[in-house]
Structure 1
Amino acid sequence: MASYEFMIGLRYTRAKRRNHFISFISLISLLGMTLGMTALITVMSVMNGFHKEVRARILGVASHAQISSYEGSLYDWEKIGEIVVRNPRVAAAAPYIDAQGMLSHGNMVHGVMVRGILPTDENKVADFGDKMIMGKLDQLVPGGFGIVIGQELARNLNVFPGDKIVLISPQGQITPAGILPRLKQFTVTGIFEVGHFEYDSGLALIHLSDAQKLYRMAPNQVSGVRLKLHDMFEAPQLIQELAEVLPADLYFTDWTQQHSNYFRAIQIEKRMLSLILALIIAVAAFNIVSTLVMAVTDKQSDIAILRTLGASSGSIMKIFIIQGALIGILGTLLGLLGGMLLAYNVGDIVAFIEHVSNTQFLSQEVYYISKIPSDPQLPDILVVAVVSLVLTLLATLYPSYRASKVNPAEALRYE
């Protein structure tokens, strides 16, 4: 059976004929709490969605982890690959050669990062096969001197599959006329689009054996081995495990180190936006303080009567704590409901607004993420709910304490 403190506190939250203003302030506090939580949950979910989308696009062509050498090249990559794939965390491994070069077509010249790959193995650690918009990755064959480039790079050079382009290696060759760069003609066999400007405009893929010939490397020599994990978040633990079983002269990196600037910037932005929007909840909590202070002033005669009937100071304090807590709990629940509904449907809502207003918030010509992504995370939602409830309970302490100190004789003097 509910206590009388709860029943009175619940009754005080409802409108009274003699003072509608207090009820209006209570409603404002409730709406403030609801809107604050809805906005905070939605923004955090959208930031999580952007983080997930950027991570997926970067790691779709980059690797979860890499093994290379301090000397710049590996000679026993087959043996290293065999050892690595025995680890249960590793899904696949593929050799690669990274080098710089310049692509020339007509009067256009563009600097690129050249990556030598084995197409079959590369498809196991990256998503290039799924990102091809023209041609296929497996058209790269040994000795064919084919090349696959990004869509932005193809647009800058004005080339299409079948066109001939010249790859210029900065490693020169000595001739009677002096040191000259090495040139090799390649045929464009495919074009990919991963949705990340850095790769779409500056990455070129060629077969591993062709890269070894162009950059004068031995048949068993590569830059390193790229790894794909079953769980990308286990990459830091994996490289620690591999460092214990592989030679000491190897160099290990993972995606959290290679692309830390991107993810750190997104994380900082998420935290700052969350802090700013949390102020909305804080303002709503302060409104609860003003609501309860006015309620205590308005209910002094009621408090005095309860005290004369035997109610203790603690009971009076509980009544107003319950009144404020009910406002906060209801606002939190409504905010959770509104926030989750908006977070799970923000993409459709934004698309509808764009359709009605005939505008586009994220233009494909400017942003490579043209739709609003959303990824609601239960821990974030729970943190928002807990913070909201804590602020609400803290806001009730002073007005409730003030109510418990009301002197019955003074309150009833003019009644």
Structure 2
Amino acid sequence: MNLSLSFYIGYRYWRSRKANAFASFITIFSVSGILLGVAALIVVSSVMNGLENQLKQRILGAVPQLTVHSQTAIENWPSQVEKLSQLPGVQGATPSISTQAMVQSPSNIGAAQVYGIYPEQEKTLLNTTKRVYSGDFDALESGKYRVILGAELARTLDVAPGDKIRILSGDGVVYTPLGPVPSQRKFTVAGVFEMGSQVDATLAYVHHDDAQRLMRQKAGEVKELRLYLDDPFNAAKMAPEVVAQFATPVTTTDWRDTYGHLFGAVKMEKNMMSLMLSLIIAVAAFNIVSALVMMVVDKTTDVAVLKTQGLTTANVMGIFMIQGSLNAVIGLISGVAVGSLLTLNLNTITQALGISILGAGQNLPVQLELSQLTWIVVGTLVMTLVATVYPAIRAANVQPAAALRYE
């Protein structure tokens, strides 16, 4: 196959003034459709990526991403923490303890997941420490019985830093003649954090030692380690490697047990939006079929003459595939340029138009990923190339004798 000859003739056909005005209209329509479809797919995908990344920071930055559980106390846990922290993809590991509890104030009551932490070890790893106002994680000192609450939980309880609340834990229950009595202690609110997500209504942090006393566990024992990962979505893949670092039997849990449904819904929505917008590109790409078929009809005599001069079937197919691909490439390049510019300036554009999608003062989360952009480009090129195959085969099957019979 002489590719240069096919490209030259295909380029000449593409540049030439088309005799069929309707074919020209369909070509313009298909190119515009590819442009709009690609641009919309880039913008929507970038916004969905930004939303997913924001949820990862606001939710998975506040809850255990991967937790190791042991039935017995972990021996020499500081060295185990150091070993786990050196694993690829692990930002750090810290001792952890947690309990589901009821939180009671003088005016209200609510439910919370209480985490016991060592503030000095969590400070560089836990995103919540960067979102605290009216207090600080350094206030969590062993034996002081202080607690840091989520903003929504604090509003529900109607408390502020300095107020007293009672935490009743389901762990450490004592059975008496009057029935089971939950473990409970009074804590002083030392601060309030706000992540801007649903964790604000359910999380509370206390010192690790205070949590052990609340749950009536032996002081100094560590039965849980929580790991912070570079990418929380890799938690399931990393679990076997983490378990292999322990000489005694351990189990693992990760964020999917509590928030997997939320991120699953976001992923499904992102995939469905991408599918819908891909259909726009598909419709535009297959409009190329109509335009090329009309072009084949117009150029039947030319094709017959070229074949009588020795042009092969592959060369003829190449001519029309190149002609259709040139239209697709124009639409694709324009779509990528427009989509990227819109994505990078989306908040500026919405502000200039006076559109507030998330409310006053809030910007849309936008994250343009090169890998996703590459998939969009490759997918569009493949789709449009497939669309040119049928017209190209039809042109290649032209019989010179039949086409030139009445010429």
Shorter chain as normaliser: what TM range?
Answer: 0.7 to 0.9
| 2:251 corresponds to | 251
| 1:60 corresponds to | 61
| 1:381 corresponds to | 373
Report SS of the residue matched to 2:144.
coil
| 1:23 corresponds to | 24
**Alpha-carbon contact 1:85-1:91 (below 8 Å) kept:** no
Report SS of the residue matched to 1:149.
strand
Report SS of the residue matched to 1:327.
helix
1:90-123 CA distances to partner (integer Å, 9 max, x unpaired)?
4433222211222222231112122222221222
Report SS of the residue matched to 1:296.
helix
Report SS of the residue matched to 2:378.
helix
Which whole-Å CA distance do the structure 2 matches of 1:125 and 1:270 have between them? 29
Which whole-Å CA distance do the structure 1 matches of 2:289 and 2:404 have between them? 25
Matched, 1:38 2:39: yes
Amino acid at match of 2:77: I
Q: 1:224 to 1:315 in 2, by over 3 A?
A: closer
Matched, 1:150 2:150: yes
Q: 1:125 to 1:251 in 2, by over 3 A?
A: farther
Q: 1:168 to 1:236 in 2, by over 3 A?
A: closer
How far has the Cα of 1:374 moved from its partner?
A: 2.4
Aligned residue among 394, 397, 405 for 1:405: 397
Which whole-Å CA distance do the structure 2 matches of 1:145 and 1:166 have between them? 10
How far has the Cα of 1:232 moved from its partner?
A: 4.8
| 1:167 corresponds to | 167
**Alpha-carbon contact 2:111-2:202 (below 8 Å) kept:** yes
| 1:83 corresponds to | 80
How far has the Cα of 1:403 moved from its partner?
A: 2.1
Matched, 1:97 2:94: no
1:142-161 CA distances to partner (integer Å, 9 max, x unpaired)?
22221110100111111111
TM-score (norm 2): 0.88
Which whole-Å CA distance do the structure 2 matches of 1:256 and 1:177 have between them? 39
| 1:362 corresponds to | 358
1:231-270 equivalence runs, <5 A: 232=232, 235-236=235-236, 238-255=238-255, 259-270=259-270
Which whole-Å CA distance do the structure 1 matches of 2:343 and 2:46 have between them? 6
Matched, 1:122 2:122: yes
| 1:278 corresponds to | 278
Q: 1:107 to 1:92 in 2, by over 3 A?
A: same
Report SS of the residue matched to 1:135.
coil
**Alpha-carbon contact 1:116-1:206 (below 8 Å) kept:** yes
**Alpha-carbon contact 2:149-2:193 (below 8 Å) kept:** yes
Which whole-Å CA distance do the structure 2 matches of 1:208 and 1:391 have between them? 57
The runs of 5 or more residues in structure 2 that have no matched partner are none
Q: 1:399 to 1:98 in 2, by over 3 A?
A: same
| 1:137 corresponds to | 137
Which whole-Å CA distance do the structure 1 matches of 2:309 and 2:68 have between them? 79
**Alpha-carbon contact 2:77-2:222 (below 8 Å) kept:** no
1:239-288 CA distances to partner (integer Å, 9 max, x unpaired)?
43342341333222344666433333322222222222111111112110
How far has the Cα of 1:177 moved from its partner?
A: 5.6
Amino acid at match of 1:385: V
Q: 1:391 to 1:96 in 2, by over 3 A?
A: closer
1:65-76 equivalence runs, <5 A: 65-69=66-70, 71=71, 74-76=72-74
Which whole-Å CA distance do the structure 2 matches of 1:234 and 1:2 have between them? 45
**Alpha-carbon contact 1:350-1:372 (below 8 Å) kept:** no
The runs of 5 or more residues in structure 1 that have no matched partner are none
Which whole-Å CA distance do the structure 1 matches of 2:277 and 2:5 have between them? 37
**Alpha-carbon contact 1:125-1:227 (below 8 Å) kept:** no
Matched, 1:193 2:194: yes
Which whole-Å CA distance do the structure 1 matches of 2:173 and 2:232 have between them? 39
Which whole-Å CA distance do the structure 2 matches of 1:45 and 1:175 have between them? 58
Give me the identity figure in percent: 39
**Alpha-carbon contact 1:66-1:252 (below 8 Å) kept:** yes
Amino acid at match of 2:43: T
TM-score (norm 1): 0.86
How far has the Cα of 1:233 moved from its partner?
A: 6.0
Which whole-Å CA distance do the structure 1 matches of 2:176 and 2:256 have between them? 44
Which whole-Å CA distance do the structure 1 matches of 2:318 and 2:176 have between them? 93
Q: 1:93 to 1:394 in 2, by over 3 A?
A: closer
How far has the Cα of 1:389 moved from its partner?
A: 1.5
How far has the Cα of 1:410 moved from its partner?
A: 4.6
Amino acid at match of 1:156: T
Which whole-Å CA distance do the structure 2 matches of 1:298 and 1:231 have between them? 56
Root-mean-square deviation (Å)? 2.9
Q: 1:8 to 1:43 in 2, by over 3 A?
A: same
Q: 1:318 to 1:63 in 2, by over 3 A?
A: same
